[in-house]
Structure formats: structure tokens, C-alpha cells
Chains A and B, each alone.
Chain A
Amino acid sequence: MTTETPLRVLIAKPGLDGHERGAKVVARALRDAGMEVIYTGIRQTPEMIAEAALQEDVDVVGLSILSGAHAELFPRVVESLGERGVTPDDVLFFAGGIIPDEDIPALKELGFREIFRPGASTRDIIAYVQAWAAGRSAGGEAAGSEPGGESKNAS
């Protein structure tokens, strides 16, 4: 009776840039992979994103940003999430967008496990999320034990 419960994913765009095509493509791809995707639209404040993650009890938070303000906004999103008990310990944080090499270590430090940049395929993103979920349900240890991981930088 109880079939596999769908993963719940929040896809959100913090900040003021209105370029949501990438976020929508990712949302649809994850939907087509059988996930329930809560899409909140553009111009989200960190508090809005954190509230949505809390109320929807999501397994995954994916942030999309093209404005270049990630270094400023992402820490505030993570802080707001943390204030509500949503932490990278049990929720997968990932990000996508135009993010330069030199910014990636800091984002990983914040708890973003993977950064998908222009050219990354939706198949990569789906596979990454599914592998994370499989690792989590296999005992929750896999999450911490993955190798440092190069960021996806398909050309």
C-alpha cells in the first residue's frame, strides 16, 4: 500500500533578479523525476524561503541565483533556515546559477552540498538529489562521508 513517499523539494529564488527560467526548468525536471516541488516564485526574502521550507517540511532546498548576490544572500538564507531548525544536517541544500569558482568553497562551508552552474544538465541534478536521498535512507551516514566533491562545471 505505502509506496515510496515522494521527495519534497523547495525551489526558490532569493533576491531581486527576475530570471526564473532556470529555476522553472529545474522544478519541472524534478517533478518529472517524481518529486513534489514547491515553487515559490521570484523575489524571495531569506525569511520567506525559510518559512516555506519550515511549513512545507521539505527534504531538499534548492536556491537559484543569477544576480551575483549569492555571497551576500545565501548566508542570510542559511541563517534564517537555521533559526527555524532547518539545517544541512538533515536537509539537502544545493544551489544553481552564475557562481564563480572562487565563491564555491565558502558556499560549501555554509552547507550547500553542490553548486550547479550554467551547462549542468537536469539529469545531473536529478541524479544528485536521488543519490543523496538514497544515501540518507540507507542510514543517514552517506551524506557526511561523500568526498569533498568538485562542483559541476559542465561546459
Chain B
Amino acid sequence: MTAPSGPPPDFPNAPPSPDVDDLVGRLLAGDRRALSRAITHVENGRPEGRLALAQLYARTGRAHVTGITGGSGAGKSTLTYRLALEQRRRGRSVGIVAVDPSSPFSHGAILGDRIRMQELTSDRDIFVRSMATRGELGGLAPMTDDVVAVLDAFGKDVVLVETVGAGQDEVEVASMADTTAVVVTPGGGDGVQAMKAGILEVADVLVINKADLPGADALAQQLQAVTPRDTHVPIVRTVATKGEGIGELADAIDAHREQLETSGDRERVALERARRRVLARARQRLLERLIGGPDGALRLDRLAASVAARELDPYTAAQRLVDGGS
């Protein structure tokens, strides 16, 4: 909980600390407690996390990352649980990252996705980690991609990322998942809502969950009508609570994965994703350099006070923050 002493080490020049070496060693040997602790370091943006990731990153890229997104109450947790069981049946080890929202007021969170995943805890080859959004927009937690990378390096064959209940704009998961499954349900004008939403555009697989409810056929027709014909986005019907359609969903994900491999899209997507990650981390480092230390924080406070008092406009203040004026 204490802040690390001194500035975060630079990369890749920082000497690897023996503690991190030990942690990484145990993680790679299959120690789940080490995996769990490494995820904590990464999630909290601690130097140990960065160091661990620097060592682990070369071992990533093997897991197939599946994003599961959709509205609140669409059944994402239950679907994730069933899909995890199905992937295990296919002989694959599974990591799950389940994201729930942080309170904007207290910054606390109730992480309740495990309630629907209780049966998974008896299987040592399934590792479930809950994350809070901690103020991040877009339906994910700030370090989700790095947490996925740790699970990937640990050797998980499949990583399922379940987003917060997404509205129309929570499409961030698509930028980090190999396959994005968008979950919709009959009723409530979902078809039209989904059309408005960018959420439909990011779907590699569309899932109509609760397909035993009235309106499922109409929804399927609506979705078919609005899905671009040349993209062939499959529509899968599931009843997650009963485990129906889960095999078909896993098939659709496998098919998309194969399509990525054979079309050469995988490399293109990987490059685009890498670029985004570098930029995101660079942005973060620049900010740390600007306002990470006590001096910087103080300068920000002073500039903010000037802006609040209408003595400075935000653009001028930002320029002074960056250029070093006060």
C-alpha cells in the first residue's frame, strides 16, 4: 500500500530487482499466488509490475483473447462462466478478467461477477480475477491489457475479458481482444439500440442470449439486416443459464480465430494494437514526468487554482505545465 520510494525505474535500463526475478520465476513455474501478486502489481501501476511485465512480455501472444461485452443484465457473467467450462472441455486452460465499475463518488467497488462463476473455483486451470474500472471509461479497467498479458505469459490458452455492462460507447475491449463477442437480449428495443451503438460494429461474433425469450427471432432478423453482409458476422443464440448454444459460441470464436490466422489479419491487428499500447504508456509516462513528483503536483495545483479563478485559460495553463512555466 505504501508508495514505492524514489521514482519508478526507467526501462529497459533498470536492474532487475531480486524480488521481481523471484516473483517472475515462481509465476513461470506455475505458482498461482505469484500470478495473483504479479497481477496486483500490474493493476496498481507499481514499478514491480512494470519490471515483471518487461520480463514476461516476450512470452505473451499465445493466448487467444476473447472480449465479452454487452448491456447490463445481458448475461455476460453467466455466459463467460459457461464459455470457460466449454473451453476447458476442449482442453484449454482459461484466464478470466471480469470488470465491474468503480463508484465515481467513493472510488470503491462491489466486484460481484464471481457470484455467477462459483463452480469454476474447483478447477485449478481456471483463474478468475475481478477488476474495478477505477475511473477509466470505455468498459475496462485501466490496466486490463497488461493483466491479460500476465495471464497469457502464465500460459493460459484462452483469456476471457468480461466488460462492465456496456452502453453505446464501451467498445474499448475490441482494441485488445482477438475476438469480440457482443451480447444482446430480446426485448427492450435492443436491436435498434444496438444499431445506434458502436458496439455492434466491433462485434466479431453476435450473441443473442436469453434466446428462449419471446422476440429472439425478431432480434435475429434485425441484427441480420444491420450487419454488413460482406463481414459475415455470425449470430449465435444462447441460453446461458441452461448452457444452451455454448458449443456453437465456442465454435464461432474458433472460426474467427482461424480466419484471423489464415487471412493474415492477425499481424495487422497485432501491429495496430502494439502501437496503441505504446502510445498509451507513453502518454502515461509523460504525465508522470509532468505531475508525478511533489513539485509537479504542486505546480498543477497552482495552475488549476489560476484557471478556477479565471486568471488563466486552460490552454495557457496546460502549456505552462508542459513548458515548465508556473
Contact = CB atoms under 8 A, between A and B. Distances in A.
Interface of A: 1-2, 4-8, 27-28, 30-41, 44, 47-48, 51-52, 54-57, 59, 84-86, 133, 136-137
A48 B3 contact: no
Nearest to B127: A55
Interface stretch (B32-40, B188-196, B264-272): B32-40
B292 interface: yes
A98 B291 CA distance: 49
B115 interface: yes
A38 B114 contact: yes
Interface string B30-50: 001100110110001110000
A36 B111 contact: yes
A86 B36 CA distance: 12
Contacts of B106: 31-34
Query: Across chains A and B, which 9 residue pairs bring their CB atoms closest together, nearest first?
Result: A31-B108, A41-B115, A51-B121, A137-B1, A57-B36, A57-B40, A34-B108, A38-B111, A36-B109
Contact of A31 (B103, B127, B288): B103
Contacts of B37: 57
A84 B111 CA distance: 22
B46 to A, nearest CB: 8
Given A55-B127, A55-B128, A1 B110 contact: no
B2 to A, nearest CB: 5
A155 to B, nearest CB: 29
Contacts of A84: 32-33
Kindly state the interface size class of chain B when it binds its partner: 35 or more
Contacts of A2: 3, 44-46, 292
A40 B115 contact: yes
A49 B37 CA distance: 17
Nearest to A37: B110
Contacts of B130: 36, 38, 56
A148 to B, nearest CB: 25
A30 B108 contact: yes
B40 to A, nearest CB: 5
Given A55-B127, A56-B130, A6 B107 contact: yes
B168 to A, nearest CB: 26
B280 to A, nearest CB: 14
Nearest to B284: A1
A5 B287 contact: no
Contacts of B114: 38-41, 52
Nearest to B4: A2
26 contacts: A1-B287, A1-B288, A2-B46, A5-B44, A6-B107, A6-B109, A27-B110, A28-B110, A31-B108, A36-B102, A37-B111, A38-B111, A38-B114, A39-B111, A39-B114, A40-B115, A41-B114, A44-B118, A47-B122, A48-B121, A48-B122, A52-B121, A55-B32, A55-B36, A56-B129, A84-B32
With a 10 A CB-CB cut-off, give which of A31, A36, A56, A86 has the most chain B CB atoms: A36
B249 to A, nearest CB: 24
A122 to B, nearest CB: 13
Contacts of A6: 107-109, 132, 134
A2 B118 CA distance: 33
B73 interface: no
Given A54-B32, A85-B33, A39 B112 contact: yes
Contact of B108 (A5, A32, A59, A86): A32
